[in-house]
Amino acid sequence: MGSTGEPDRKRRHFSSISPTAAAADAAATAKKQPFLPISEDKKLDIAVLQYQNQKLIQKLEAQKVEYFSLENKFSQLKQTQQPFDLTLAVVNKSLDKLVNDLESFSICTRDSTSERDSKHMLVMDDGVLSTSKDAFLSRLTQTGATENSSMHDCTNRMKVDGETATEKTKNILCNVVAATDNLWYLKDELSAEILKELPEDGSCRQKTSHNLVKEVKKLRMEFSDLHLKHKSLARELQRRQDIHVKNKAEMKHLRDELEVTLTELEENNCNLASLKAQRDAAKGAFFPVLNLRNKQGAGDRVRDKQKDLHDMESSLKELMLHRTNLHIG
């Protein structure tokens, strides 16, 4: 019995001191355990934040340079546009004066020739127009010479004045064609009268007729030259107006680009401020003793930071490529 009770007492003694000894051993082991994982995780977080900050600063500097470049380009375009605006105003003023002068002159010419050819004008008043006049007006309409280019302009003023200018142009052309027809008819009558008064000498009559035909051809060629000059002026005016519209569209595109760039700069500033706050918080943060779960969470944070860094680098490359394509285009 005594031998049996002694082992039992020893077992109870050992069982009673075993938890305390285990706790003491665990505490000693914890004190002896180094804090290298905490320090390494902290250093890794700081390094990642510094790298992200450096990349964001570089991106911000690049966008600042691009912003100043776009602003300079926009200023240059505005300075380049100013002479075009002045030239367009002078051209519009000169064109209005030219149209008014042509209209008054064509009316005077038509009235002066109609007095010599009342019979021909009576036929025209009845609504029977000559085939040559119809063909000429039809040709001018098809080639676009009678179409006032201001109808295609984007400004409100020229849209309002387009119908008036077009009506004036049509009146001028009708008056010029009527005066030309009257002159041609008058020349035909004069030629017939002169041929009647000429002697029966065939050579003299043939020579005179030949001279008259040459004179008529010359006048008609001069009239065709005037028509070509009118078409050339109309094309030049349309070209200048197209340039003006193109410059306005480019200025609008640059303005939109500047707004997008400013928005991106504001977003980058916010991100940079947030990252700086996180970095400052990380510097003053207290890291507890890591167990297995804390180590796994630190690894997840490192992977998340690396993924964010990779996404930011990809976004930066895409943005720079997009800006390069815009400059090349």
Q: Reduced to 3 DSSP states, what percent helix, strand and coil does the chain have, rounded to the nearest 5?
A: 90, 0, 10
Alpha helices in 33-155 (DSSP H): 36-116, 118-125, 131-143
Kindly state the tokens that stand for 301.
Answer: 């944070």
| Confidence tier at 32 by pLDDT (50, 70, 90) | very low
The pLDDT tens digits for 152-180 are 444 555 555 666 777 777 777 777 777 77
- Span 113-123, average pLDDT: 52
**CA–CA dist 56, 211 (Å, integer):** 87
Residue 147 to residues 134, 142, 168, 224, 289, Cα–Cα distance (Å): 17, 9, 11, 18, 87
Question: Of 85-89, 147-151, 295-299, 304-308, which range is least confident?
Answer: 147-151
| Confidence tier at 231 by pLDDT (50, 70, 90) | confident
212, 189 contact by CB (below 8 A): no
pTM above 0.85, yes or no: no
**Burial letters for 293-328: b for 16+ Cβ neighbours within 10 Å, e otherwise?**
eeeeebeeeeeebeeeeeeeeeebeebeeebeeeee
| DSSP assigned state of 287 | P
34, 290 contact by CB (below 8 A): no
110, 182 contact by CB (below 8 A): yes
Give the number of other Cβ atoms within 10 Å of residue 238's Cβ: 17
Handedness of CA 282, 283, 286, 290 (dihedral sign): positive
More confidently predicted of 134 and 174: 174
Q: What is the number of alpha carbons within 13 Å of residue 3 lying toward its C-beta?
A: 0
Kindly state the tokens that stand for 126.
Answer: 């009845």
The pLDDT tens digits for 264-309 are 888 888 888 888 888 777 776 544 444 445 445 556 777 777 787 7
Residues in the chain: 329
pLDDT at position 201 is 59
Q: In the chain, what percentage of residues exceed pLDDT 90?
A: 1
Report CA 122 to chain centroid distance, whole Å.
56
The answer, yes or no, to whether residue 135 has pLDDT greater than 70, is no
Burial label for 216, CB within 10 Å (0-12, 13-18, 19+), is middle
The answer, yes or no, to whether residue 1 has pLDDT greater than 80, is no
Q: How far does the chain reach from its first CA to its final CA, in angstroms?
A: 105
The answer, yes or no, to whether residue 240 has pLDDT greater than 80, is yes
Handedness of CA 19, 25, 29, 31 (dihedral sign): positive
Please name which of 172, 199, 182 lies closest in space to residue 106, comparing C-alpha atoms. 172
Residue 253 to residues 151, 266, 276, 328, Cα–Cα distance (Å): 24, 20, 35, 15
- Span 89-108, average pLDDT: 82
Kindly state the tokens that stand for 281.
Answer: 């918080």
Amino acid at residue number 203: S
pLDDT at position 141 is 46
Question: Of 4-18, 140-154, 193-207, 300-314, which range is least confident?
Answer: 140-154
The pLDDT tens digits for 189-229 are 887 777 677 666 556 666 777 787 788 888 888 888 888 88
DSSP 262-286: HHHHHHHHHHHHHHHHHHHHHHTPP
pLDDT at position 43 is 74
The answer, yes or no, to whether residue 15 has pLDDT greater than 60, is no
Amino acid at residue number 324: T
pLDDT at position 9 is 53
The answer, yes or no, to whether residue 40 has pLDDT greater than 50, is yes
| Average pLDDT over the chain, rounded to an integer | 71
